Structure 1
Amino acid sequence: MQSDWPTATLGELTINLDTKRRPVKEADRRSGPYPYYGASGIVDHVDGFLFEGEHLLIAEDGENLRTRNTPVAFRATGRFWVNNHAHIVKGNGLARTRFLEYAVLAADLTPYLTGAVMPKLTQGNLNKIELPCPPLKAQDAVIGVLGSLDDRIALLRQTNATLESIAQALFKSWFIDFDPVRAKAEGREPEGMDSATAALFPSEFEESPLGLTPKGWEVAPIGDLVEAVGGSTPDTKNPTFWEPAVHHWTSPKDLSGATSPVLLDTERKVSPAGLAKISSGLLPAGSLLMSSRAPIGYLALTQVPVAINQGYIAMLPGGQLPPLYLYFWCKANMEGIKGRANGSTFMEISKKAFRPIPALLPPPDIVSEFVAVAGALFDRLVANERTALSLTDVRDTLLPRLISGKLRLPEAQARLEEAIA
């Protein structure tokens, strides 16, 4: 990386704590409040911690070291555990830990990787990575600009997690725990709703194929309640299927590092000729995508018309259960969905196996009321995610120029103020 700042190696700028890492097999972990980190972030939560304070984690192995689909360097703060797939370092006084995070993200790591099949960044090569090292005052200024953008993005994503959890709690209350029905059965007024909404719910339960369910609510195969389709991949060696790149086309890779339950864009696009090769065609915005293999269970509500590959089951608008309702239904029933998967190379659930899964069908008025409430929350979530992506673009544009010293701080500060205005 060309730099107008002085440079130093990562080994000269950090204290390395790799010897204190300790992997724990999934079967041996006990759930707790402390994040358990791997090469690409948090993989679990456990009941103990190895580290405390602010540290920088850098991926040690994995294809992501080449593809960079998710950050290869990220800070961990507070108390946490780290396995042996992520190096752990902190600034030694010559460099701020957060500045090092940005410097590594801006660096080309390719010359330091080994392994033809599985990329690896050894500790020896990690220490050789050459990074810009401006004075601490300049590092703090860079952190001030990039950190402000990252903090704003993080706040938007935290807000979105709260909005989704509110909608999920409502779904659980109405359609899993049946709280309004239980309240009426016990002679109480249902909480958190007006009298008109409460009147939509029955006051009795009855036996059904799913056990005790609200009286009058039906049970039917999910395939009878929503149109579920799959997709395909046009020949990747035929350029006429991909150029001109016109229509959104997605594989589950687009959701692998997703920070939101909505799909706003795709990594690849197909040409009109490529779209013609996909039997399901262009699916309407508002469809629900569920990855059906490797792994099963990524979920996203599309915000643009999109074609899909064979790694998805898509649930389309227009059925008796709308995609927003189905998003939460899939989350609540994911273990049962995965239980119907099979395969020798990798587990997959086919549309044939998915469609017979029994689902509860509440009355349309109750479903519509839920969609009205949850939809308003998701409208805010989508707006927040669009803002977060816009700020991410600004940060990614500023990061390499700031880290190299080629963009002067007053200009960067002006870009920051414009972005967050």
Structure 2
Amino acid sequence: MKNWKFCSIGDQITLQRGVDITQKNAHAGEIPVISSGGISFFHDTAIDDGPGVIIGRKGSLGTVYWSPDPYWPHDTTLWVKDFKNNNRRFVYYFMKTLKTKNLDVGSSNPTLNRNHVHPLSVIWPPLKEQEKISEILSLLDDKIDLNRRTNETLEAMARALFRDWFVDFGPTRAKMAGEAPYLAPELWELFPDRLGDEGKPEGWQSWPLADLATLSKSSINPAQFSDEYFLHFSLPAFDKAMMPDLVKGEEIKSGKFSLPRNSILLSKLNPETPRVWMVTAHEEPYQRICSTEFMVLNPLQKDWLALIYCACLSQPFRETLQGMVTGTSKSHQRVQPLAVMQTHLLHATDILMRQFGLTAQPLLAKINFKRNESNTLAQLRDLLLPRLMSGEISIRDAEKMVEDAA
């Protein structure tokens, strides 16, 4: 910690309150409007050219966002107007360690005042060490982001294959049109030559979800195991890059579902926003649990895991769920699990469902490998972040830990 100095946050950066704008008043564009909850919508004008750091000021207090490009900081945020020649990425990571709970000045809605942030005392490293710290942490975040983008491509490939086979009936339609085969001969011959009276391939049957999977309701109260750690698959964790949180049992205040290997989580809440999570075999020493807002589906055959996952994400099934919701509040509409289990999932034959699993499962296995890798890297980042910022761990030791993880 040589040459680190005691100072205030205001000595190092200047925070500015964001600028109010509503989606109704925004103009079509590519500039993200970043609120305390993240990107809310887009506009054609930027307040800052970026790269920038934005902090939740109201509502979601203390959330921290990095914008590499021009952006509009919403009124519910604070943004760094002046970095005072500090490394911008370092400032982003530093602000993620800021404890904001004691700075809340709101009566009913949590609120953060910049005038209460500026005077806070901190220990601040020189620019050269800022750059090294941000480089270490950025290496982990960049790898996580690469995995995310790779997974988006892999999932799009699996879902496109499902849509072609079981929604658009592409091979059968191609046969009817006299087009050349575009699948391997042994697969091509499995598809009927024509559609039946109902517009489905001849000989295909309807499969409800209950014929493909069971609904698991095995529950656990993590608070009874206060010293144990659990991998918690929650709705917020899903929305946050689909990475479960590692949480101590004593911190979990309600009952959860236990997760068996090779299961699929289907959210009951607000099906308008699809949340489908595949949980495969794992090597972590932690027990896996999930929110009771999820349905836990266990395929009746191991070859059906990829099939059920893609079917639950398909447009026809999603539209069916949206028509089954109960509840008057738009934000808390739910589907009934027993009704969902009786819902038609797809038309197919048993042999084609197995073939789809053999084709798509390797793609989804890669997704889960990269997702688990990202989860490990995120845990390492979260471990290193406060220790690097406080000088508790040396840059050399942190570099070694990242090198071993990569």
Match of 2:34 in 1: 37
Q: Structure 1 residues 325, 284: closer, same or farther in 2, change over 3 A?
A: same
> Which amino acid in the other structure matches residue 88 of structure 2?
T
CA contact 2:207–2:348 (8 Å) conserved in 1: no
1:38 Cα offset (Å): 2.6
Shift of 1:100: 0.6
Matches within 5 A, 1:336-355: 336-344=320-328, 346-355=332-341
Amino acid at match of 1:372: L
Which AA in structure 2 matches 1:174? W
Compute the displacement of 1:391 (Å).
2.0
1:373-421 deviations in Å (ceiling 9; x for gaps): 221112222222222222222222222222223333233333332232x
**Aligned with residue 277 of structure 2, among 295, 300, 304:** 300
Give distance in 1, aligned partners of 2:308 and 2:276: 10
- Alignment match of 1:286 (pick from 244, 262, 267): 262
Query: Greater CA deviation, 5-14 or 174-183?
Result: 5-14
Spell out, residue by residue over 1:152-176, the C-alpha distance to the aligned partner (whole angstroms, 9 max, x if none): 2221222222221221222222222
Compared with structure 1, are the counterparts of its residues 4 and 246 closer, same or farther at alpha carbon in structure 2 (3 Å cutoff)? same
CA spacing shift, 1:134–1:316, aligned 2, 3 Å: same
Aligned equivalents of 1:29, 1:205: Cα separation in 2: 47
Give TM-score, length-normalised by structure 1. 0.80
Kindly indicate whether residue 188 of structure 2 is the aligned counterpart of residue 198 of structure 1. Answer: yes
Question: In the alignment, is the contact (CA less than 8 A) between 1:226 and 1:321 conserved in 2?
Answer: no
Question: Quick check: 1:292–1:348 contact (8 Å CA) kept in 2?
Answer: yes
Residue in 2 that maps onto 1:68: none
In the TM superposition, 1:51-66 aligns within 5 A as 51-62=48-59, 65=62
CA distance in 2, matches of 1:301, 1:175: 20
Separation in 1, partners of 2:202, 2:9: 66
Rate the CA distance shift 1:102–1:207 in 2: closer, same or farther, 3 A.
same
CA gap of 1:229–1:409, structure 2 versus 1, over 3 A, is closer
Q: Take 2:356 and 2:31, find their aligned partners in 1: how far apart are those partners?
A: 34
- Measured in 2, the distance between the counterparts of 1:77 and 1:308 equals 33
The match for 2:357 among 366, 371, 379 is 371
Q: Distance in 2 between matches of 1:47 and 1:178?
A: 39
Question: What residue number does 1:107 align with?
Answer: 98
Cα 1:80–1:258 shift into 2, 3 Å: same
Cα pair 1:181 1:214 within 8 Å, conserved: yes
CA apart distance, 1:43 = 4.0
Q: Is 2:52–2:68's contact at 8 Å kept on the other side of the alignment?
A: yes
Out of 289, 292, 313, the position equivalent to 2:295 is: 313
Whether contact under 8 Å (2:227, 2:248) holds in the other structure is no
* CA deviation vs aligned residue, 1:5-43 (integer Å, no higher than 9, x gap): 224444443354534x34333x67677654443323334
Contact 2:258/2:289 (<8 A) preserved: yes
d(CA) in 1 for partners of 2:220, 2:109 = 25
Query: Which runs of no fewer than 5 residues in structure 1 stay unpaired?
Result: 66-71, 271-276
TM-score by length of 2: 0.82
CA RMSD, 1 decimal: 3.5
What secondary structure does 1:205 align onto? coil
**Percent of paired sites with the same residue:** 24
Contact conserved, 1:48 with 1:81, CA < 8 A, in 2? no
Contact 1:341/1:348, CA 8 A, preserved across alignment:
yes
For 1:170 and 1:57, locate their aligned partners in 2 and report how far apart those are by CA, in whole Å.
Answer: 39
CA distance in 2, matches of 1:322, 1:300: 15
Give 1:315 shift: 1.7
CA distance in 2, matches of 1:312, 1:83: 32
The answer to whether the 8 A contact 2:61-2:112 is kept is no
User: How far did residue 142 of structure 1 move?
Assistant: 1.4
Q: In structure 1, how many angstroms separate the alpha carbons of the residues matched to 2:16 and 2:325? A: 41
**Structure 2 portions without partners, runs of 5+:** 282-286
Give the counterpart letter for 1:299 in structure 2: V
Q: Which moved more, 1:149-158 or 1:217-226?
A: 217-226
Q: Distance in 1 between matches of 2:73 and 2:203?
A: 51
Asked if 1:48 corresponds to 2:44, the answer is yes
Letter in 2 for 1:285: R
Partner SS for 1:392: helix
Aligned partner of residue 206 in structure 1, secondary structure = coil
Match of 1:132, SS? Answer: strand
Q: Distance in 2 between matches of 1:268 and 1:80?
A: 37
Matches of residues 390-409 of structure 1 in structure 2 within 5 Å? 390-409=376-395
Displacement, 1:55? 0.6
Is the CA contact 2:144–2:377 (under 8 Å) kept in the aligned structure 1?
A: yes
Q: Is the 8 A contact 1:6 1:132 kept in 2?
A: yes
Shift of residue 102, structure 1, vs aligned partner: 1.0
Q: Secondary structure at the match of 1:150?
A: helix
For the 8 Å contact 1:233–1:309, the answer to whether it is kept is: no
**Aligned pairs (5 A) from 1:134-283:** 134-191=125-182, 193-208=183-198, 212-230=199-217, 234=221, 241-242=224-225, 245=228, 251-259=234-242, 267=247, 282-283=258-259
For these two proteins, the number of residue pairs brought into alignment is 393
1-structure distance, mates of 2:383, 2:194: 59
Q: Note if contact 2:209-2:342 (Cα within 8 Å) is conserved in structure 1.
A: yes
